[in-house]
Structure 1
Amino acid sequence: MKTHFSCALAGLMLLTNAAQAGGGLEGFGVPSNMDFYGGGSIGMASQDGACGSIANAKGCDDSDQGYKIFGGARLKPNTEPGALPSLGVEGGYINFGESSATGDLIHTRLNLSEDHGDITASSELSGIYAAGVAFMPVAPKTEVLAKAGVMRWSQKNERKQTVIINGTPDPLDNRNESTSSSSSGFGGLLGVGAQYQMTDNLSVRGEYERGFGIGKDANKTEPSLLSVGAVFSTY
């Protein structure tokens, strides 16, 4: 994912330079009514269902700070600006942060029910996505947007259980274990938001995005990101 993050950041810098230079890209065979944009956002991420990896979890923290970097292109109607909706495509990198859960390890060897150990589990989740986007003007310099697409997600999971005897961790108990795993796959992504145009090249965007079909087995989750950020565009 570091490679995807670096590529997205480099693309954003190129788009920003183009936006600051002004003008379109007609000289490169691009239609005059096509704009390119890039940006970044930060906000609160959540991984709903992530704590289900531990049965009867007694502690759960499925929220974290998240962020994303994105870029895209949109084809504007050849009419008065702000009169009709426009369509575009967008791709980017989303980091949903980390979730964690804790639980009790139950004594099973002597068929007792008292707690005698701890279980902890954590999961880091991120992904790259591609989506179609629709923009609808609702007021001067203001538009709402909706997106639908697919996300290639990547998840890193860690799990540890420690047996406690007479209030002290027992390092020799054969039930002690620490495991880590990683998985990846494809899922869906939906999003809605709004953005306000500050200048010809700069807009502020607020957005809510949610993933579907993310994770595998006990680590399945439906991640979401509520964020606010800046969008730099050509014109």
Structure 2
Amino acid sequence: MKKQLLIAALAVCATGQVMAADDLFGSSSEGDGGTIYGGVSLGKTQADCTGSAECDSSNWKLYGGYEITSDIAVEGAYHSIASSGSNKVTGISAAGLYSMPVADNLEAFGKAGMIAWDSDGTDNGTDFLLGAGATYKMDENWGVRGEYERIGGDIKANMYSVGAVFSTL
């Protein structure tokens, strides 16, 4: 599992470096993307713990991304998905985002990607990650982000979160 997490993290970092290189060579113009962003979110997870029983837990994530254009971005995140007693489930994700303006300072987005997860070293895997949410921009750099994410596959979890995001533009 540690190898999978390392590979996922390196892929996210390499993608960011390639995208950042575009800015150095002038292929990105203002308003067309080129924004680096990061944030932290807190929320609630509903997961299938044993059979059909639902388990509720708190979650948090630390994420960062790069806007390729004003409506397409790549994003990587570290997730604390759930904790039940002494068992903790964490993961690293990589996803593509598509966003569109809804109103002044408000944009909606959808995301699709993969998450490599680990359950205290006893179990691990890689599953699909789908999500949707909205970001309200308070000013040029700061915003508030609300989001729903679904992990589907070996583990099934619905994650709801809200948090702060900071962008370079």
TM-score class, shorter: 0.7 to 0.9
Shift of the 203–98 alpha-carbon distance from structure 1 to 2, 3 Å rule, reads: same
How much has 1:47 moved relative to structure 2? 1.2
Shift of the 27–137 alpha-carbon distance from structure 1 to 2, 3 Å rule, reads: closer
- Runs of 4+ off more than 4 Å: 24-27
Number of the residue aligned with 1:29: 25
Q: Is the 1:47–1:96 contact (alpha carbons within 8 Å) kept by the matching residues of 2?
A: no
Query: Does residue 1:52 correspond to 2:16, yes or no?
Result: no
Gaps of at least 5 residues in structure 1 are 9-23, 54-59, 78-85, 101-121, 157-180, 215-220
Gaps of at least 5 residues in structure 2 are 10-19
Number of the residue aligned with 2:144: 204
Give secondary structure in 2 for the equivalent of 1:62: strand
Number of the residue aligned with 1:152: 116
Residue deviations 1:184-225 (CA, integer Å, cap 9, x gap): 1211000000110001001100000010113xxxxxx30121
How much has 1:61 moved relative to structure 2? 6.5
How much has 1:29 moved relative to structure 2? 3.2
Distance in 2 (alpha carbons) for counterparts of 1:141 and 1:61: 36
Aligned counterpart in structure 2 of residue 193 of structure 1, from 120, 133, 137: 133
Number of the residue aligned with 1:133: 97
Query: Does residue 1:225 correspond to 2:165, yes or no?
Result: no
How much has 1:25 moved relative to structure 2? 9.0
Larger Rg: 1
Give secondary structure in 2 for the equivalent of 1:135: strand
Letter in 1 for 2:104: P
Query: Does residue 1:62 correspond to 2:55, yes or no?
Result: yes
Q: How does 1:90-105 map to 2 (within 5 A)?
A: 90-99=75-84
Letter in 2 for 1:52: G
Distance in 1 (alpha carbons) for counterparts of 2:107 and 2:76: 19
Percent identical among aligned pairs is 40
How much has 1:28 moved relative to structure 2? 3.0
Number of the residue aligned with 1:162: none
How much has 1:234 moved relative to structure 2? 1.0
Distance in 2 (alpha carbons) for counterparts of 1:40 and 1:74: 17
Shift of the 151–199 alpha-carbon distance from structure 1 to 2, 3 Å rule, reads: same
Provide TM-score, normalisation by structure 1.
0.57
Distance in 2 (alpha carbons) for counterparts of 1:224 and 1:99: 15
Distance in 2 (alpha carbons) for counterparts of 1:70 and 1:234: 14
